[in-house]
Chain A
Amino acid sequence: MSQAVYLIAYLAIIVFISAVIKRIVHYIRSPLHVRWEIYPVAHDSKRASYGGGYLEEVDWWKKERNVSLIGELKVMIPEILFLKTVWENNRPLWYITYPFHLGLYLTIAFFALLIIGAIAQLSGVAAGPKVPLLMSTVMALTNLIGPVGFILAIIGAAGLIYKRLTNPGLRNYSTFSHFFNLILFIVTMGIAILTWLFIDPTFILARAFIVNLISFNISQINSSLFLLQVLLAVLTIAYIPLTHMSHFFMKYFLYHDIRWGDEPNINTPETDKKIGVVLNYPVSWSAPHIAGHGKETWAEVATFNPVAEPETGKEKVDE
């Protein structure tokens, strides 16, 4: 059974990484899209504070754009850490969804600390009678952050289930997937708490499991509860990027490439090249103002006037 759990853990990690890569590659490989930005655009350092952009300037194409990473961070950090948009636009939901998200963040931090501890253990830093201060801090933080994260996630997930069941505005849009996801988190985090309480209060087993995973040392897992916890944890990790919850990393593209995608096509030969590609895509739309004129590509269709006046010598058709 232990061997199977290790195998599932490795598979889950592979599924997680593959799914994340697949989504990102799919996005990056998608064709050029038109600009569709929404202001305020955070990286406009001079004007983001009031929602302005470079189009406020006469001859804007002759002027340097003010693209500021700090401007983006000023929006993204509170957005990621505190869900600022929900706070500003949906306060009743924030009180529930924020504990849930904070719980997940802390759980991620817990995993990171476990991995750091495991690596330290493997490298001998954390071995022996005298553990360095830094490592004892890591371990203490692991012991603190893990349980707090589990509890917050459970509270948040339970609150979200309640909200989705009782709020008519949310009930209409809540599907099996929503409830399944939230219950999965409650069960996974619940088992994690039970394991912490009764089996592994300082996460020694958990860290040892990570050590074994890293060193490909398939050793026996003696506790059924711990085994169940590992199974649930890795399955949840694998499952997340297969669902809409992959917004946790895809949000980067939705913000940076779409919402803030204000880069003009000035001195950008790469964009011109892409425009050349998409304009040569075939068009198969069937409406009479598009089809039936012998025009096949976007370039041909877009430069054809189906109702041009006779003096231009072009065809005129009824709509």
Chain B
Amino acid sequence: MSKSKMVKISDISKDSDKLTSVAVEDLMPLPGDFEDKEWDEIPEETREQYACILDDVNILQIPLPKTTKEEEELVNKFINGMRKLFTKEDNWTFLTLLETTMEYCAKCNTCSDSCHLFEASGENEMYRPNYRTEIFRRIYKKYVKEEPLSKWRNGDVDLNWRTVARIGELAYRCNICRRCAQTCPIGADNALVAREIRKIFSQEMGIATPELHKSGSMLQLQYGSSTKMNKLIVRDNIDFIDEDFSEETGYEFKTPWDVEGADILLIHNAGEIMAWPENIAAFSIIFQAAGISWTLSSDLAAYDSINYGVFYDDVQFARTAILQAQAATRLGVKKIVLGECGHAHKALTVIADRVLPEPLKIPRESCFPILRDIVMSGKIKFDPERNNFPVTLHDPCNITRLMGIIKPQRDIVKKLCPQFREMNPHGPFNYCCGGGSGYAIMSRNNIPEWRFKITGRKKLSQILDAFSDCRGSEMKKYVCAPCSNCKGQIRDIFKRYDLFEKEQLAYGGLVELIVNAMVDVNPGYIKWGEEY
């Protein structure tokens, strides 16, 4: 073990430039010839402005305190927020879940090996799921719960500005995929602790990553979408997609808007409109071909399913979920169906279930069951030979481990893709793509480098292993990743390692595979390499 990997609990408060650094030679090996370079330096301007004292990356922009008074303020605000976090009034949403993790963890570290960041980093101690939690627990027991002799019984940690800055940044060294929680013998949840720390910073200290907050949830509340598309722009864009893809596919279709009394309100991740219009078009083609009664809504936040509050802020989460439910209620639809976006699935279907009051309790479901029913119904003719290339399926954590939607998407790919193969492990035991909890939309400074080296490394390894019988540029291969965040992460990794060319890899959603196999659509809906 290299020295940089050995980090003690007490190191969190030390007066040092960095807590740790992940050396390139310590990274988990990838299957094949992949080269990783040393970390790019965090720009000087960023270092002067923000507390960059954790490792080689800066994600949460915590203003660097310049005076002793500012240092004290940082600590006081954090501890005030932490105290609120443990009150039922301010944190009824997660208090019980958090308290049980604080109280009953046996510190057996059974969770460690389940974490893809811990594994990818070569088992750097900072990435151990319990490292962050143990620091937080010691602060909680000593300063919030004020247990007698806590320092002596539970272990001590010095609470200074460095501790606060580092634990805030450390909350952003987790994908919140909850694989660690899945393996905990007791039922403790270290991923939740990362999310709750993010909440203290956002809800009490007003510090959140700009991608999630200022350019994320706030834009969604202001314009209706984090893409900054207002309802006029979004309708224009969809009209353009309708025309463009009608021409390309030879299948004339029209996306319906604001249809009162429709059976289904479909909510896409609006990022798809900009980055993957073929996904938007594919939904419209399938729903039209199947004769579904459906609509999109041009109401505020109802044409963008994202809900970044899930990653860092309960208030922003609730505001967005309520707007989406209100839009559905106004249209009088029978249910909301979520498009291919994992966190949006979980946010509106599961978490909002105990947030939405009675008048807004409109049924909400995933797109995968209805897509499965359409594909199996015989309403649309398919030619699986059009999908006769190796296909593997990525399981978005929010949809599989956290919602139990495993089989519908498999029924589809097994019917339509003759060369389908699973990743190992898969289903509820999958690995995160590495973009989870908001990182997929972060491209600031060297964050992408971190996403490639650490968070996305295990997924890349899994993908390559799934295609171990057809590696190289000779054969076209497809990674089905039915989630916008996951697609963004996979796209960036493929680009970084030149895998579009070297491995003839393509990635996309599930609906693209469905349309690609539709007899009534021109062949070649899915594109590879230069066809993009």
Contacts and interface: CB of A to CB of B under 8 A. Distances in A.
Are A and B a genuine interacting pair, yes or no?
yes
Interface of A: 27, 30-41, 44, 47, 50-61, 79, 83, 85-86, 88-90, 93, 97, 168-170, 172-178, 244, 246-247, 250-251, 253-255, 257-259, 262, 264-265, 271-272, 274-276, 278-279, 281-290, 298-299, 301-309, 312, 316, 319
Interface stretch (B19-27, B54-62, B365-373, B491-499): B365-373
B221 interface: yes
17 contacts: A32-B354, A47-B406, A58-B373, A59-B335, A86-B185, A247-B104, A250-B100, A258-B189, A274-B354, A281-B92, A284-B89, A286-B206, A287-B204, A289-B315, A303-B319, A303-B322, A312-B300
Given A33-B96, A36-B192, A79 B185 contact: yes
B513 to A, nearest CB: 19
Contacts of A253: 100
A308 B222 CA distance: 5
Nearest to B335: A59
Interface residues of B, number: 99
Interface in B180-196: 181-189, 192
Contacts of A284: 84, 89-90
Contact of B188 (A39, A254, A275): A254
Contacts of B257: none
Contacts of B154: 175, 177
Contact of A275 (B77, B181, B206, B357): B357
B153 A177 contact: yes
Contact of A90 (B90, B108, B353): B108
What 4 pairs across the A-B complex have the smallest Cβ distances? A53-B404, A254-B187, A51-B428, A302-B318
B155 interface: yes
Given A31-B88, A38-B401, A97-B108, 9 more contacts: A30-B88, A57-B369, A89-B110, A175-B153, A175-B155, A271-B354, A286-B77, A286-B81, A305-B319
Q: Which secondary structure dominates where chain B touches chain A?
A: helix
Interface string B102-118: 01111111111110000
B45 interface: no
B354 A33 contact: yes
Given A38-B402, A265-B353, A286-B204, A170 B109 contact: yes
A89 B355 contact: no
Interface in B65-116: 77, 80-81, 84, 88-90, 92-97, 99-100, 103-114
B203 interface: yes
B343 interface: no
Nearest to B105: A244
Contact of A35 (B205, B335, B353): B353
A58 B370 CA distance: 6
B407 interface: yes
Interface string B302-334: 000000000000011011001100000000000
A302 B153 CA distance: 40
B84 A89 contact: no
Interface of B: 1, 6, 8-9, 77, 80-81, 84, 88-90, 92-97, 99-100, 103-114, 125, 128, 130-131, 134, 152-155, 178, 181-189, 192, 202-206, 213-214, 218, 221-223, 300, 315-316, 318-319, 322-323, 335, 349-351, 353-358, 361, 363, 365-366, 368-370, 373, 400-408, 427-429
A275 B113 CA distance: 37
B108 A86 contact: yes
Nearest to B188: A254
Contacts of A93: 108, 110
Contacts of B185: 79, 83, 85-86, 89
B404 A40 contact: yes
Given A177-B153, A244-B105, A305-B221, A85 B183 contact: yes
Contact of A285 (B112, B204, B365, B402): B204
A30 B99 contact: yes
Nearest to A302: B318
Nearest to A309: B222
Nearest to A41: B404
A282 to B, nearest CB: 5
A174 B107 contact: yes
A169 B407 CA distance: 37
Contacts of B406: 39, 47, 50-52, 56
A255 B187 contact: yes
Contacts of A36: 94, 97, 189, 192, 351
Contacts of B323: 305
Contacts of B318: 298, 301-302
A291 to B, nearest CB: 9
A85 B405 contact: no
Contacts of B368: 56
Contact of A173 (B97, B134, B192, B363): B134
B187 A259 contact: yes
A53 B90 contact: no
Contacts of B134: 172-173
Given A33-B354, A305-B221, A52 B405 contact: yes
A97 B410 CA distance: 38
Contacts of A298: 92, 318
A101 to B, nearest CB: 10
Contacts of B192: 36
B152 A308 contact: no
Contact of A272 (B110, B131, B358): B358
A302 B93 contact: no
Contacts of B95: 30-31, 33
B400 A301 contact: no
Contacts of A97: 108
Contact of B404 (A47, A61, A305, A308): A47
A255 B182 CA distance: 11
Contacts of A169: 109, 112, 125, 128
B109 A173 contact: yes
A59 B96 contact: no
